[in-house]
Structure formats: C-alpha cells, structure tokens
Chain A
C-alpha cells in the first residue's frame, strides 16, 4: 500500500511525518539535529531512502547530513574517519568553496551590496538541496551568497557549478532582505542538460548545456522597485515550480509588485497571471501532481507578510493562473498571522493529490483531496522553513 513521508525543516531541527495513503493518522519522528536550523531536506527520486539535509547554525556554520534509511539514522558524509591514504579527504562535506579559477570562468569575488558598492562573496549556508532524478549520489545545493554547487559522491564533497556566477551578470547581483540566496533548483525531466535556478534578488537563470553556460531569463517580469522598467536581472523571485509532463511551462511567485507569473516557453517570456488573487505577495507556488494546469499559491499581505484579514487561505487555479479560488476549509479563518515560506509547500503523487504546507507558527497542514479540505498534521513545531513530500509505493 502507498504511504507518504513528509520531511519538515524547522528553525530547531528536522521532523519526519509518515502516514499511509489515507493521510489521516500520522507518526511524528524528531527532532532530528535538535537545536540546529534545517533550511531544507529532500529525498532522492532515484532512491527514496537516500535523504539529504542542510543543517546550519549562526555559531557553527554549515553541515550536510545524509540518510540511507529514510531518515531513521543520519551521517555526515566525509565525517567518518578515513584510513590514511584511502578515499577522499574526510570532513569536506560541509565545505563550499567558490570556484574563482580562471579555467572555469571569470574569477568572481564580489557582488553588489545594498549601497551600490562591491561586496565580497561569502558562503553562509545551504538554502536548498535538489537530489538528481537518476543518481542517488548526485545532488545540487543552492547556497547563500548565491551559488550553485554539485556533489557526485553522495555529499562527501561539493564543487561549484561556476558558469552560473561567471556568466556575466554576477557582479550586479544584490541581496534581498533574506540574503543573496539561490533557493530554487528545477530539473527538466525530459532534458538532462537543462536546469532552472532562482536567486533573490537576481532572478531566474537557465542552462541548456548541463551547467556550463547560463543566461538570465527574466523578460516580462515586473518590479516597480527597480529603476529600469525591464532590467535583465534584479528580480526578487520567490519560487518556481513546473509539472514534469510539461517542463517548458514554469510558474513563478515573484515579490510584491509582481505576483504570480507563468512562462510557456521555458522562461524566455513571462506573463503575469495574478487575476483575482487578493494580493500579489507570497512565497511558495506549486503544481498539482496530476493536473499540469492546477497550481497553488498562498497570498500574504505584502506589507506585513501575514494572511490578509488574519484568514489563512491557499488559492488554487485550475487554469494555470488568472482564475483563482480560495481554499479555506479546515484552515484558521480568524486571528491567524503566520507566514508560509518559499520552500514550505509540496505535493504528493497519490491518486487524489495531497497538498502540504508548513507555517512559521509551527503548523503543517495536509489536504488529501487536492486542496478542498485541510487538516493539521502537527500544530506546535518550531517555525517551519521547508516541507517536502515523498510518495512511497
């Protein structure tokens, strides 16, 4: 029988929530890595028991954790003592060193700071981990200050995909309020050479040659807070999503002044599809597992970043945008002032698609009927930073 495993990253550790296909009764495991910030954890599509987790701390920096048994036990790859002269060097799984070598592109050591001056590129943390669709030992990491790293040895070592920062606009990237972070990595399941990444506050970038060369794809986006009407970069993209059956159709939640956008040509041109959404601000966006034109967003008050009128509502469009319906059954409709962060929404692929999201108030909600009704799985976790769902067959 099918089951689901929900991987929850919080400000005080990771939690794993499991249920059968009915998604009514849940087992809660955790906290794993108690006391550490878990920006993201995600399972390998090629081996669901292989999980990667980004564990970080303002005191102690970045740690990468890996599980080979679905999260029951964890290890720091490379953290084990290696016999002398054998294997790769130990303890490098948390080393993210920017590639500034001339061989791999232009050495790039500074980016634009808030005051317009150049500021050193400094690694701070891993925001997002995206395991390969085909190889459990290969995964990408999106980091702050913005960069893309790849491991091909199960997280033991990480190497920058340097063409992204070196493609030409990198020195003009500047941080959003949350930092200069690469937070979204999307694969095209039909084209192994194509990746999309999104950076706050630089925009969306695409490679069509496996990461060697990149280009900004931000045409059509709107940002009234930028001086130029149509700059090449500078957009505070919050999240991207696509359906694997139509990888050229990409959906986006952009900062306020922009809202929800879609592209039907792999990001070459974007069109705003806010329609009747109550606000243009939100963080996550996701796509139904079986309906490529059914998408979900969680609009927030753009000024205070809480649900409008204190009513927590997911909005669903069955038309790929423009025409939205509020989904409120089972969600708090008064005095609710939580946020839903960009990596904190996910869907399962059971027959009746499940939709999940976590809040900064520590609730994780599940809808087992594509958003029609909702129920909390847990109510009192630490502030939720990420939610990923694995459908286990």
Chain B
C-alpha cells in the first residue's frame, strides 16, 4: 500500500484527508502511482499533471525519502520505502502567491 500526502486544496477537492493510500498494479512508478490516484479520485485528473501535455504542473513538486523526485523521469521506479509504505510520497504545492 503506497501512501500519498496531498496538498490542502486537492484534499478539499477530493474530499479526503491529508493522506490517501493506494495499491498500484504492476511496476510502481510515479506515473503508475498518479494513474492510480486519478482512477480512484477522478476529480484530481488534470490537477497534478496537465490534461493536454501530461506534464507535472510547474508549481507542484514530488518529494519522498527526503529527495526531490520532481525531475526524475516519470517511469522511474519509486523508492522501495515508498513502495513498502514505510515513507509517504508527497505532492507539494509551491509556496507562492497571496
């Protein structure tokens, strides 16, 4: 079971708490994880990855195990500690704006 920590505004949108837990079928990559997240919570489609380009939205970051994984290729396997559920996968909104 993989744990994902969502930013505040996406929790409100998906009607969930800070952390959601998901099973990922097949290799546990970032794209597979986000696909599973959007399958479970379709209202999040397009909010993390742009609908038209599939790219990470510029003001979002992906952190796990004290690493910034934002620039890792999306099909890179997730860290073992994330896959095992020992560490969460963080989706972080940039601190900006008023």
Q: In whole angstroms, what is the CA distance A78 to B41 when docked?
A: 11
Contacts of B13 in A (CB 8 A): 60, 63, 76
Partner of B9, one of A57, A81, A94, A96: A57
- Tell whether B78 is near chain A: CB-to-CB under 8 Å: no
Instruction: Decide if A59 touches B46 in the complex (CB within 8 Å).
Output: no
> Which residues of chain A from 56 to 76 have a CB within 8 Å of any chain B CB?
57-63, 76
Instruction: Decide if A95 touches B51 in the complex (CB within 8 Å).
Output: yes
Contacts A35-B9, A59-B60 known; A123 to B47 CB distance under 8 Å? no
Contacts of A90 in B (CB 8 A): 42, 45
Contacts of B97 in A (CB 8 A): 58
Q: In whole angstroms, what is the CA distance A59 to B94 when docked?
A: 8
Instruction: Decide if B57 touches A61 in the complex (CB within 8 Å).
Output: yes
Contacts A57-B9, A63-B43, A76-B43 known; A91 to B38 CB distance under 8 Å? yes
Partner of A60, one of B10, B38, B40, B42: B10
Contacts of A97 in B (CB 8 A): 51-52
Interface centre among B12, B41, B43, B47 (most CB of A within 10 A): B43
Tier of interface size on chain B: 20 to 34
Instruction: Decide if A81 touches B59 in the complex (CB within 8 Å).
Output: no
Contacts A76-B43, A95-B46 known; A58 to B51 CB distance under 8 Å? no
Contacts of A62 in B (CB 8 A): 46
- Tell whether A80 is near chain B: CB-to-CB under 8 Å: yes
- Tell whether B77 is near chain A: CB-to-CB under 8 Å: no
Contacts of A328 in B (CB 8 A): none
Interface centre among B10, B51, B97 (most CB of A within 10 A): B51
Q: In whole angstroms, what is the CA distance A76 to B8 when docked?
A: 17
Partner of A34, one of B12, B46, B50, B94: B12
- Tell whether A361 is near chain B: CB-to-CB under 8 Å: no
- Tell whether A36 is near chain B: CB-to-CB under 8 Å: yes
Q: In whole angstroms, what is the CA distance A57 to B8 when docked?
A: 13
Q: In whole angstroms, what is the CA distance A34 to B9 when docked?
A: 8
> Which residues of chain B from 18 to 64 have a CB within 8 Å of any chain A CB?
38, 40-48, 50-52, 57, 59-60
Q: Interface residues, chain B, CB within 8 Å of chain A? A: 7-10, 12-13, 38, 40-48, 50-52, 57, 59-60, 93-94, 97
Q: Interface residues, chain A, CB within 8 Å of chain B? A: 33-36, 57-63, 76, 78-82, 90-92, 94-97, 123
